[in-house]
């Protein structure tokens, strides 16, 4: 995904009036060379009749989370946080007293540059795993190991397979 558009989130009637065009804000774009470190919008500024919602984007700093983007969407009842830097993983969600997340031993939202998938016998993926929901297994699902296959030249080759693949560590 080359663009992270808040327009996907703003397309609902929650955020814009029915008689107005959707508000489109580009926070990150490879094509346009755009990256906003921080940004926020709230209902009180855009929809005074529905002031309880907000969307914030911030860049985390310090330790292994340096440079990780975090977007939090709050509609006044439900809030959730998405991590574009880590394959659009869902860090957590909260509604009233209900919290959906994982109390991982990994406390920081680790930047993909610090994840070495091959470490620990292919279990390096675990060094950054602390999200509630992640994308994984598109290329391979299962324990780390080796795969033998015939390449495009007809040669038999071997490839190391790491736990859950690499998609979680590809920035959006």
Sign of CA dihedral 112, 116, 122, 124: negative
pLDDT at position 13 is 42
Per-residue confidence in pLDDT tens, the chain, 172 aa: 444 544 444 444 444 455 678 888 999 999 999 999 999 999 988 888 887 999 999 999 999 999 999 999 999 999 999 999 999 999 999 999 999 999 999 999 999 999 998 888 888 888 899 999 988 877 777 788 888 999 999 999 998 888 888 888 888 8
Alpha helices in 20-93 (DSSP H): 43-46
Residue 128's nearest CA partner among 95, 160, 171, 158 is 171
Separation between Cα atoms, residue 146 and residue 91, nearest integer Å = 30
> Is the pTM of the predicted complex or chain greater than 0.85?
no
3-state SS class at 84:
helix
Buried b (16+ CB within 10 A) or exposed e, 56-91: ebeebeeebbeebbbbbbbbeeeebbbbbbbbbbbb
pLDDT at position 138 is 78
Separation between Cα atoms, residue 136 and residue 33, nearest integer Å = 27
pLDDT at position 46 is 85
Query: Domain 28-169 is in which class?
Result: mainly beta
Separation between Cα atoms, residue 13 and residue 8, nearest integer Å = 12
CA 160 vs CA 1, 16, 141, 143: distances in Å: 26, 48, 13, 11
Domain ranges (residues) in the chain? 28-169
Task: Centre a 10 Å sphere on the Cβ of residue 20 and count the other Cβ atoms it contains.
Answer: 9
């Amino acid at each position: 995904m080359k663009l992270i558009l808040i327009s996907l989130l703003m397309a609902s009637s929650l955020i814009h009036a029915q008689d107005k065009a959707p508000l489109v804000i580009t926070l990150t774009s490879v094509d346009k060379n755009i990256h906003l470190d921080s940004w926020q919008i709230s209902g009180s500024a855009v929809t005074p009749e529905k002031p309880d919602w907000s969307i914030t984007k911030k860049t985390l700093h310090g330790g292994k989370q340096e440079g990780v983007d975090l977007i939090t969407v709050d509609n006044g009842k439900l809030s959730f946080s998405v991590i574009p830097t880590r394959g659009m993983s869902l860090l957590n969600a909260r509604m009233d007293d209900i919290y959906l997340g994982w109390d991982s031993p990994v406390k920081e939202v680790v930047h993909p540059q610090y994840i070495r998938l091959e470490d620990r016998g292919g279990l390096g993926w675990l060094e950054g795993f602390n999200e509630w929901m992640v994308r994984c297994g598109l290329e391979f699902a299962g324990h780390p190991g080796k795969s033998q296959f015939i390449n495009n030249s007809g040669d038999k080759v071997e490839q190391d397979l790491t736990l859950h693949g690499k998609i979680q560590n590809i920035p959006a």
